[in-house]
Amino acid sequence: MSCIVEIALACPLRQTFDYLSDEPVEHWQPGMRAVIPFGSRQLIGIVIAIKPVSEISTDKLKKIEQQIDKQSFLPVEIMQLVQWVSRYYHHPIGECFQAALPKKLRLGDSDEMQTETYWALQQIPVNKPGKKQQQILDLLEDYPEGLSEKALRVQFGNVKSSLTTLAQQNVITAREHVALPVPCLELQQTVSLNNEQKQSIEKVLAEKGQFSSFLLHGITGSGKTEVYIEICREFVENQQQVLVLIPEIGLTTQFVERFRHSLAANIVVINSSVSDADRKQAWLLARSGKADIIIGTRSAVFTPMLNPGLMIIDEEHDSSYKQQDGLRYHARNVALMRAKTLNIPIVLGSATPSLETLYQVKLKRYQLLKLTKRAGGATLPNVKLIAANKTADNNGLSSVLINSIKKHLQQNHQVLLFINRRGFAPVLMCHECNWQANCRSCDAKMVVHQHQNRLFCHHCGLIQTLPKKCPECGHSELKSYGVGTEKIEQALTAIFNDIPVLRIDRDSTQRVNAFTNMVKQINQGQAAILVGTQMLAKGHDFHDVTLVGVVDADQALFSADFRATEGLAQLITQVTGRAGRGKKSGEVLIQSEQPEHPFWKNLLQDGYEAIAENLLKERIQMELPPHGFWAVWRAEAQEADLAMQLLQQVAELLQQTASPVMILGPVPALMEKRAGRYRAQLLMRSADRASLHQLIDQHIEAVSKLKLARKGRWSIDIDPTELI
DNA sequence: AGCACGCCGACT
DNA sequence: GTCGGCGTGCTC
């Protein structure tokens, strides 16, 4: 008996499509994949529902070409989660499924797990085994379930011939088994925890098996990772899976390695450095319950689990949890929603929690867990503000800072200098005619990169050769202004010529292993100066750094984005936390052209918590998020004004309905032109979430039918975190 | 989004 | 005479 199958497709349409199937109803389940004809194309879709009749007349329905999955594919929980995401973010359902699936599975790969050869002991050898053979046998003794050939190869190198010999003698046997991640063969002893850590662990474990949200607010270096690990240990022992989300930063290996060295568990990692094949395997291992711990970036929030027990969001304040194009979801919020429906606890961890999260703590929706002491008895560094003067200083470095660097290097310590701009200098000018190197596709200046002898636009990626003379008037003296990592690197090399200066930014770490090699060199502990962007600020544990210098921190104080101050407070607190993490005590020097700005006094005297409290009060007073709810319509188009016109029409549509929602704009984006496109936005503000979503739902279809909507790109951003 | 269909300018 | 430009409309 045939049936009607409702299918979500990977196209930007806010609807599903019905198809006829020859298969009987009972062969179908929501969540399965199917190949279907769509227009003149062939697509893969996800089954949303199976039904006896369609609202579309039967003669218009096409037949399903192929049923890809014969058994359930996406669990009901993920189906509901993705559908919730589609409704909440007002994004086409098919594209939401795209975001939730690993590429290979999206493209129709079989959902069978990769297998590999596992070896296990069979009987005592008769002949005396060779040296390598003996090593293998010794190790296998500890693993009665067997070890994968891959794991043995990682440990002993080429093992093929040894294994063949041992197998011929029936000492060991081979068996095909689902490929699990290579286990860590040498577990470290557990570290001793302080009382705050122990209490935090207990409080989370007390909520096992029910929804409960926690903020683990631990100062930098207070041992949050150890708390996560000990909580995980308990869940793993109970055969429950843990999903750990981490920010998208270059190096997550440090974090992952600590888990691997501490827990005898199957730990899979899903981040950008993992191949498509491994991603698929990790996803399948999680779905089957064979992965105990899943560590991944933003999109891993959609990973299915057979026995979910807990979710952890590390560095919950990090902006990379919010996707800034396509489906603009916030992984932290999706995780909270998921934890609620799964009825499991969720832990958000940070040294610098977002105001959103602190607001929830204030409303008593999250339990607060605090770690106020640095682990291992390390002390927080002493922080000082230096008045910097642009014109008088040596390439942006004040003499106070240089003298201090000298002092720390003499003690054979390491120094970290933070400057949040890569390249040599952000401005190139002609003295004669006032010409300036601007990007032709963006409202932005080109940045001088001296190493490559080029000009770069950091917004669209435009590359030009560095001009030798002014393209306007031909004058040969072009001057650059401002500082970037390259200039600081150059200045320091000139001053401290016998000390290695390591520049760590996107340019210097592009080559494979460049970053890992630099980290290795740093960890050897000799005196060195590290110059870097926020790549350096996030999460690294450099034990020999005793001085942190912040070269140019002020820009954010004058930003038009009301969130900039929050971001600056977080960044400074995080950078500050890089000093004195080992046994040596640390010092931090912050150069500012605005040392009198109340922000600094507030942050340095009272700390992050206090400044966050003040900022939150301000936001509540001014009815800014997290108090009240926002949504932004964004549009961009190749032609000037088109985006504004489109949003003007959207505003007119929205205003046709009487609603408590405030409509503001449209206005051009702060940087109106970017990558050759003109951008604009339209803001919606509301005191309650429901009216905001209702108003969007009422008009989104009419908006997508607007003529101008086809000419430019448009999107809607729920709970925006950036006003661009 | 893709893709087809359709109706107007500079080319083998 | 055609190739191809992108405006418009549709996709169960």
> Annotated binding residue at A3?
no
The CATH code of the domain that includes A40 is 3.40.1440.60
Model confidence at A393, in pLDDT bands (50, 70, 90)? low
For residues A213 and A347, state if they share a domain.
yes
Q: And the tokens for A41?
A: 């194309």
A12 closest-nt by C1' vs CA: B1
Considering only CA atoms, which of A359, A352, A316, A331 is closest in space to residue A626?
A: A359
Give CA separation, A41 vs A12, A38, A238, in Å. Answer: 15, 5, 48
Q: Which residue has the higher pLDDT, A220 or A244?
A: A244
The rounded percent of chain A whose pLDDT value lies above 90 is 66
Measured CA to CA, the distance from residue A173 to residue A183 in angstroms comes to 20
Is the minimum distance from the CB of A15 to strand C below 7 Å? yes
Residue–nucleotide distance: A381 CA to B1 C1' (Å)? 53
Q: Region A713-721: what's the mean pLDDT?
A: 95
pLDDT at A330: 98
Cβ of residue A211 lies below 7 Å from strand C = no
Q: Provide the positions of strand B that have an atom within 7 A of a protein CB.
A: 1-4
Report cis status (omega within 30 of 0) of the bond before A625.
no
DSSP label of A529 = E
A406 and A514 belong to one structural domain: yes
Quick one: pLDDT at residue A125?
A: 80
Domain boundary among A592, A621, A650: A621
pLDDT digits (tens, 9 = 90+) for A567-608: 999 999 998 888 877 777 788 999 988 888 999 999 988 999
Instruction: Give yes or no for a contact between A482 and A388, defined as CB atoms under 8 angstroms apart.
Output: no
- The answer to whether residues A250 and A299 belong to one domain is yes
A17 CA to C10 C1' in angstroms comes to 13
Taking the C-alpha atoms of residue A295 and residue A273, their distance in angstroms, rounded to an integer, is: 13
At A69 the pLDDT is 97
Q: Where does a domain end: A595, A621, A647?
A: A621
Residue A188 lies inside a defined structural domain of this protein: no
Residues of A 60-89 whose CB lies less than 7 Å from any atom of strand C: 60-62
Spatial distance between the Cα atoms of A513 and A522, rounded to a whole number of angstroms: 14
- The A 18-57 residues near strand C by Cβ under 7 Å are 18-20, 36-39, 54, 56
Q: How many CB atoms lie within 10 A of CB A722?
A: 15
How many domains in chain A?
6
Q: Residue A688 CA to nucleotide C4 C1', Å?
A: 52
User: Residues A294, A224: contact at Cβ < 8 Å?
Assistant: no
User: What is the rounded average pLDDT of the residues A532-556?
Assistant: 82
A5 touches strand C (CB under 7 A): no
Which residue reads 């069979």 in tokens?
A122
Q: Tell me the nt nearest to A707, Cα to C1'.
A: C8
A446 shares its domain with A517: no
Domain boundary among A178, A203, A218: A178
Strand C bases within 7 angstroms of protein beta carbons = 8-12
Question: Domain range for residue A579?
Answer: 382-423+483-621
Q: Kindly tell me if the per-residue pLDDT of A5 is higher than 80.
A: yes
Mean pLDDT of the region A350-356? 96
The predicted pLDDT at position A375 comes to: 80
Distance in angstroms: CA A369, C1' B1: 46
A570: enclosing H helix or E strand = helix A564-576
Q: How sure is the predictor about A525, in pLDDT bands with cuts at 50, 70 and 90? A: confident
SS (H, E, C) A507-551: CCCCCCCHHHHHHHHHHCCCCEEEEECHHHHCCCCCCCEEEEEEC
User: A512 and A462 share a domain?
Assistant: no
**Sorting pLDDT into bands at 50, 70 and 90, what band is A374?**
confident
In a domain, residue A187? The reply is no
| Whether residues A226 and A273 fall in one domain | yes
Residue A28's nearest CA partner among A53, A46, A40, A9 is: A46
Strand C closer than 7 Å to the CB of A709? no
A367 and A389 both lie in a single domain: no
Mean pLDDT for all residues in chain A: 91
pLDDT at A47: 98
Instruction: Note whether A671 and A703 are same-domain residues.
Output: yes
CATH of the domain at A120: 1.10.10
Q: Which CATH number belongs to the domain containing residue A219 in this structure?
A: 3.40.50.300
Q: For residue A364, is pLDDT > 90?
A: yes
Q: What are the pLDDT digits (tens) for A256-290?
A: 999 999 999 999 999 988 999 999 999 999 999 99
Please state, in angstroms and rounded to a whole number, the distance separating the CA atoms of residues A396 and A412: 24
Residue A567 CA to its chain's centroid (Å): 16
Query: How many Å does it take to go from CA A658 to C1' B6?
Result: 42
Taking the C-alpha atoms of residue A47 and residue A30, their distance in angstroms, rounded to an integer, is 5
In a domain, A636, yes or no: yes
pLDDT tens figures, A597-646: 999 999 988 999 999 999 999 999 998 999 999 999 999 998 888 999 99
CB of A13 lies under 7 Å from some atom of strand B: yes
Asked whether residue A30 carries a pLDDT value surpassing 90, the answer given is yes
Q: Which of A314-323, A378-387, A564-573 has the lowest mean pLDDT?
A: A378-387
> Are residues A431 and A392 part of one domain?
no
User: Residue A392 pLDDT > 60, yes or no?
Assistant: no
Domain contains A184: no
Is the pLDDT confidence value at A542 over 90?
A: no
Question: How many whole angstroms separate alpha carbon A224 and alpha carbon A315?
Answer: 10
Residue A20 covered by a domain: yes
Q: Report if CB A8 to strand C is under 7 Å.
A: no
Q: Is A473 one of the annotated binding-site residues?
A: yes
A469 and A507 co-located in one domain: no
Q: In this structure, what token pair is assigned to residue A415? A: 């120094």
- Number of continuous H segments (helices) and E segments (strands) in chain A: 22, 31
Is A11 assigned to a binding site? no
Q: What is the pLDDT at residue A397?
A: 86
Q: Tokens 């004195």 — which residue?
A: A580
In angstroms, how far is C11 C1' from A56 CA?
Answer: 13
Measure the CA–CA gap between A23 and A522, rounded to whole angstroms: 62
A709 Cβ within 7 A of any nucleic strand B atom: no
Place of tokens 């390491």: A414
Do A50 and A28 contact (CB within 8 A), yes or no?
yes
Q: What CATH number should be reported for the domain holding residue A653?
A: 3.30.70.600
Asked if residue A433 belongs to a known ligand binding site, the reply is yes
Residue A377 belongs to some domain of the structure: no
For residue A489, what are its two tokens? 């690197």
Domain co-membership, A350 together with A203:
yes
Q: Is A640 left (phi over 0), alpha (psi -120 to 50) or beta?
A: beta
Q: Does some domain include residue A471? A: yes
Spatial distance from the CA of A677 to the C1' of B12 (Å): 37
Nucleotide lying nearest to A15, CA to C1' measure:
C12
Closest nucleotide to A36: CA versus each C1': C12
Closest residue, CA to C1' of C10: A39
If asked whether residues A330 and A410 sit together in one domain, one would say: no
Give the model's confidence band at A391: pLDDT under 50 very low, under 70 low, under 90 confident, else very high: low
Instruction: Give the distance, in angstroms, between residue A56 CA and nucleotide B8 C1'.
Output: 38
The verdict on residue A634 lying in a domain is yes
Q: Which of residues 25-44 of A touch strand B (CB under 7 A)?
A: 39-41
